[in-house]
Amino acid sequence: MNVLLISPGYPADMPEFARGLAESGARVIGIGDQGAAMLPELVRRSLSDYIQVRSLWDSEAVIGELRGRLRGKNLDRVECLWEPGIMLAAELRQHFGVPGLSVDQAKCFRDKEAMKLALDVAGVRTPRHVATNSVAGCWEAAEAIGFPLILKPIAGAGSADTYRVNNSEELRSVLPLLRHVQTVSVEEFVDGEEFTFDTITVNGKIAYYNIAWYRPRPLIARSNEWISPQVIALRNVDQPDLAEGIKMGHDVIRALNFDTGFTHMEWYRKSNGEVVFGEIGARPPGAHQVDQMKFACDFDVFAAWGQAVAKGRVDIPFERRYNVALIFKRARGVGRITRIDGVDELQKRFGQHVVWNTLLPPGSRRRDWRQTLVSDGFVMLRHPDLQKTLEMADAVGSELHMYAE
């Protein structure tokens, strides 16, 4: 099987996906705008060929380059696990006659308004929503939906350019911040806890799924620098209060006719038990949440995805053994990291449960916490008991401090 993999060297976990695909028996052809010598070693070992293009965002030029380089060889799959490349992958499938998400289907994963309209038709509960490209349209939507509201780009990823607006004064102050956004989704604010539903799907059937719990919900974490955001991959996905969310996840996969690959969904559970759809991407979650799944089940999730794509099945067994917490840290101050307090004591207490620590060492320049959830590094830990996992995660959040100046 010849599989074209878009941008095999970026984002950070793409080398592992390239490896998983190659180990599943595929002949992996990479395409990207990086020079071959700049690709990580794991990527270079996993690729059968690499095609460098000037830009991934000129689809006609990419198609022309592929025609010349493939020299009549057939493509069996075109895969992209990076949000900005989802539409390019669909265009390449359409041109070369390759199965997978079509251009029209892909739009329902990239355009949040099209996504919600399709799910409204299917009977999936979505926030009340209006898409608009004007200031007047935002005011009209606010009047129709009522405060509080969420404003965000229809083609965004994560919580970038996403704002909660509680009243007219806040709407007036937020609108200038969205001038660079072509089309804005104005939505009902859903007050509830936020979860993920992440899947590896084969021929429309979910072969593996993961549920993670955001503590607190990303909009709050992105709005408050002092918070150490947590993502908790849950071991017990059979608990009754998750059942409606799981059912909704299956309904969304069916409604959007997703075939084979990774998906990442976010959804809300209100205090009254009602579940509400958030959004879905035709890709895995970022910020090392796929690694989190690996540690939760002690299985090679990258190879499982590779098998789904290359073999049309997932043979790798998995068992949900642990709850896994990701705690992202943000240094206090600006400039370079000068010290980290509390890490030695926490390591003594929880060391056997810590599976990964990427905290920036002293001397490193602090990252912009608004631009990356990973911030100044993270601690990943796991435990079979959820309450113990949460206690350890909260200790890391409140007792480990990074300073910069």
Whether residue 10 is contained in a domain is answered as yes
Instruction: Provide the residue type at 70 as one letter.
Output: L
- Note whether 213 and 134 are same-domain residues: no
Q: What is the pLDDT of residues 194-207, one digit of tens each?
A: 999 999 999 999 99
Give pLDDT, residue 278: 95
Give pLDDT, residue 112: 87
Instruction: Please state the rounded mean pLDDT for residues 338-353.
Output: 97
Instruction: Please state the rounded mean pLDDT for residues 139-165.
Output: 88
**Which of 71-75, 217-221, 385-389 shows the lowest per-residue confidence on average (mean pLDDT)?**
71-75
Place of tokens 């129709």: 144
Contact indicator for 51, 29 with CB cutoff of 8 Å:
yes
The secondary element (H helix, E strand) that includes residue 218 is helix 218-223
- Note whether 315 and 220 are same-domain residues: yes
Last residue of a domain, one of 321, 350, 371: 321
Whether residue 378 is contained in a domain is answered as yes
Dist. CA 188–CA 241, nearest whole Å: 23
The SS3 of residue 393 is: helix
- Note whether 240 and 317 are same-domain residues: yes
- Note whether 76 and 179 are same-domain residues: no
Instruction: Please state the rounded mean pLDDT for residues 240-255.
Output: 98
- Note whether 235 and 344 are same-domain residues: no
Among 163, 134, 129, which residue's Cα sits nearest to residue 145? 129
Dist. CA 371–CA 222, nearest whole Å: 9
User: pLDDT at residue 86 above 70?
Assistant: yes
Q: What is the pLDDT of residues 38-55, one digit of tens each?
A: 999 999 999 999 999 999
Q: Sorting pLDDT into bands at 50, 70 and 90, what band is 123?
A: very high
Give pLDDT, residue 161: 86
Phi and psi dihedrals of 261, rounded to 5? Answer: 140, -160
- Mean pLDDT, all residues of the chain: 96
The secondary element (H helix, E strand) that includes residue 145 is helix 135-145
Whether residue 120 is contained in a domain is answered as no
Task: Give the burial string for 183-221 (b: 16+ CB within 10 Å, else e).
Answer: ebbbbbbbebebbbbbbbbbeeebbbbbbbbbbebbbeb
Q: Sorting pLDDT into bands at 50, 70 and 90, what band is 159?
A: low
Give pLDDT, residue 49: 96
User: pLDDT at residue 155 above 80?
Assistant: no
Instruction: Please state the rounded mean pLDDT for residues 99-109.
Output: 96
Q: Could you tell me whether strands 205-210 and 337-341 are parallel, antiparallel, or unpaired per DSSP bridges?
A: unpaired
Dist. CA 236–CA 231, nearest whole Å: 15
Dist. CA 76–CA 312, nearest whole Å: 12
Give pLDDT, residue 241: 96
Give pLDDT, residue 156: 66
Total tally of structural domains belonging to the chain: 4
User: pLDDT at residue 160 above 80?
Assistant: no
Dist. CA 224–CA 215, nearest whole Å: 13
Strand partners for 263? 199
Q: What is the pLDDT of residues 348-372, one digit of tens each?
A: 999 999 999 999 999 999 999 988 9
Whether residue 118 is contained in a domain is answered as no
Whether residue 123 is contained in a domain is answered as no
Q: Could you tell me whether strands 27-32 and 2-6 are parallel, antiparallel, or unpaired per DSSP bridges?
A: parallel
User: Which residues, other chains included, contact 326 with Cβ-Cβ below 8 Å and sequence gap of 6+?
Assistant: 230, 231, 232, 233, 287, 288, 289, 292, 378, 379, 380
Q: Sorting pLDDT into bands at 50, 70 and 90, what band is 72?
A: confident
Q: Sorting pLDDT into bands at 50, 70 and 90, what band is 189?
A: very high
- Note whether 273 and 309 are same-domain residues: yes
- Note whether 183 and 199 are same-domain residues: no
CATH code for the domain of 163: 3.30.1490.20
Among 130, 133, 135, which residue's Cα sits nearest to residue 168? 135
Instruction: Please state the rounded mean pLDDT for residues 157-183.
Output: 89
- Note whether 214 and 251 are same-domain residues: yes
**Which of 52-61, 155-164, 363-372 shows the lowest per-residue confidence on average (mean pLDDT)?**
155-164
Q: What percent of the chain clears pLDDT 70, i.e. is strictly above it? A: 99
Give pLDDT, residue 344: 95
Instruction: Please state the rounded mean pLDDT for residues 152-167.
Output: 82
Contact indicator for 379, 396 with CB cutoff of 8 Å:
yes
Give the structural domain span for 95.
2-100
Whether residue 346 is contained in a domain is answered as yes
**Which of 143-157, 266-280, 323-337 shows the lowest per-residue confidence on average (mean pLDDT)?**
143-157
Dist. CA 287–CA 374, nearest whole Å: 6
Q: Sorting pLDDT into bands at 50, 70 and 90, what band is 345?
A: very high
- Note whether 166 and 64 are same-domain residues: no
Instruction: Please state the rounded mean pLDDT for residues 216-221.
Output: 92
CATH code for the domain of 294: 3.30.470.20
Whether residue 108 is contained in a domain is answered as no
Q: What is the pLDDT of residues 387-401, one digit of tens each?
A: 999 999 999 999 999
Dist. CA 375–CA 222, nearest whole Å: 11
pTM, 2 dp = 0.92
Last residue of a domain, one of 147, 173, 188: 188
Last residue of a domain, one of 173, 188, 203: 188
- Note whether 92 and 67 are same-domain residues: yes
- Note whether 208 and 309 are same-domain residues: yes
- Note whether 387 and 311 are same-domain residues: no
Whether residue 13 is contained in a domain is answered as yes
